[in-house]
Structure 1
């Protein structure tokens, strides 16, 4: 018996950033927790977005094929050729070399289509016409400017929504970015995996979460380090206020102050920005603590 599934009407983008060696997927849909179904990525393999009566085996199988050396277009061809329901499927992939490809079956609900560019592919179904075009143009422009892959992907989603987006409305969104040893603790590839599963403005909320992720887990800019001795006394005042430090306001960054600050930084989930060692600290951490507690 052939099992039928509901279509996941969505728009998505898969992309590769060769500078940071990152692969990513971003998606929006009027479908609860759409990213849990659509988005797949693995460092050294690539990224996959599977949608429209989504065949989730395209995710793991597509990554395995690309990890073994298949191009995105070859992986899509192999998977869709073997799928009797390929006419209803839509999938976009970018492989480990940054080659992108997309497939839109001729049985997908209108409007459906895709655009493939250098290192990225945009695709969508049940859309307002112009959505994927806006996504592609925005991504092309954004990746030439500041920010990183997650910012560019979410920016592309926002442009797609502004151009019309899912013709049924909106509900959920997500962004997934992987790179070798890029995850928390450095022993996994899941650099960023943020989801908005049910929200009236999912892309706006997703953008807020990306900004928060940059705060807590962003790379420390060496030019943004400040000597702990320069901020010892105001930090001691904050630590007294939070109950972590009970010594004098000496202005000396001694062991007691270090221990107290390490505890507070850990409580605020900023340990990726300051590990408690050294004679300097990321200004982002200090500004956060001042804004929150001063």
Structure 2
């Protein structure tokens, strides 16, 4: 059934390849470049693939999964599937990239039935990155001084027993419950973990100002 099928192949080096069978429902087509291939059928028009291409080529500064999502989002915003929206998916593999290095699946997310699937896929990717991403060594903070004091205070506010001289023990216990263990580094703290910890502590509302006893109505 090759006349009814589409296929995209990304080469290990050099340009990819794309095939669109002549019996695919219009608009149908694809484009390729160095290290990428994009194709689709029953699309709003060729501008959809143009948008995917432009977003991909312009997204070199993004992490790889986010770059793919940006390209998908651009195609969606350019009209996407002319029948409407329903599903979206993202699969990224990297040797040893899975949880704890135990698999090669870095990202595997699906939205099967949603009114705005690409936006929902973005929400899931952000959550996946929080829980399974690994810290950037350049941004790590030493768990000493004011940082250690703040971390210990936040953990104590959450009801965890904290040794003021060793807040790392309580931090690792809390992070394990929050599924953030991939971001733990002995003696240091990932700013992403610190931000999540800050947000986990309930904010105490500021006391309301007392009414002016001389005010009259």
Query: Do the structures match in fold with TM over 0.5?
Result: yes
Structure 2, unpaired ranges of 5+: 203-217
CA offset digits 1:179-228 (Å, max 9, x no partner):
11111111211011111121111111111222222222333222211121
State the aligned residue count: 200
Cα distance in 1 between the residues matched to 2:162 and 2:105: 39
Match of 2:124 among 193, 204, 209: 209
Cα distance in 2 between the residues matched to 1:133 and 1:268: 41
Matched, 1:135 2:52: yes
Give the match for residue 40 of structure 2.
Answer: 124
Higher strand share: 1
Match of 1:235 among 140, 151, 154: 151
Alignment of 1:113-262 (within 5 A): 113-129=29-45, 130-143=47-60, 146-230=61-145, 231-245=147-161, 250=164, 252=165, 254=166, 257-262=167-172
Give the match for residue 78 of structure 1.
Answer: none
Match of 2:177 among 267, 275, 279: 267
Match of 1:282 among 162, 182, 190: 190
Question: What secondary structure sits across from 2:109 in the alignment?
Answer: strand
Cα distance in 1 between the residues matched to 2:195 and 2:95: 30
Question: What secondary structure sits across from 1:123 in the alignment?
Answer: strand
**Using a 3 Å threshold, how does the CA distance of structure 1 residues 98 and 210 change in structure 2: closer, same or farther?**
farther
- By how many angstroms is 1:246 displaced? 5.8
CA offset digits 1:39-68 (Å, max 9, x no partner):
xxxxxxxxxxxxxxxxxxxxxxxxxxxxxx
User: Which one scores higher on RCO, CA 8 angstroms, separation ≥ 6?
Assistant: 1
Question: What secondary structure sits across from 2:172 in the alignment?
Answer: helix
Cα distance in 2 between the residues matched to 1:153 and 1:223: 24
RMSD over aligned Cα, in angstroms?
1.7
Question: What secondary structure sits across from 1:95 in the alignment?
Answer: coil
Question: What secondary structure sits across from 1:142 in the alignment?
Answer: coil
Larger Rg: 2
Cα distance in 1 between the residues matched to 2:134 and 2:14: 23
Structure 1, unpaired ranges of 5+: 1-84
> Is the contact between residue 12 and residue 35 of structure 2 (CA under 8 Å) also seen in structure 1?
no
> Is the contact between residue 236 and residue 245 of structure 1 (CA under 8 Å) also seen in structure 2?
no
TM-score w.r.t. the length of structure 1 is: 0.64
Cα distance in 1 between the residues matched to 2:98 and 2:161: 32
Question: What secondary structure sits across from 2:7 in the alignment?
Answer: strand
Cα distance in 1 between the residues matched to 2:197 and 2:114: 30
TM-score w.r.t. the length of structure 2 is: 0.85
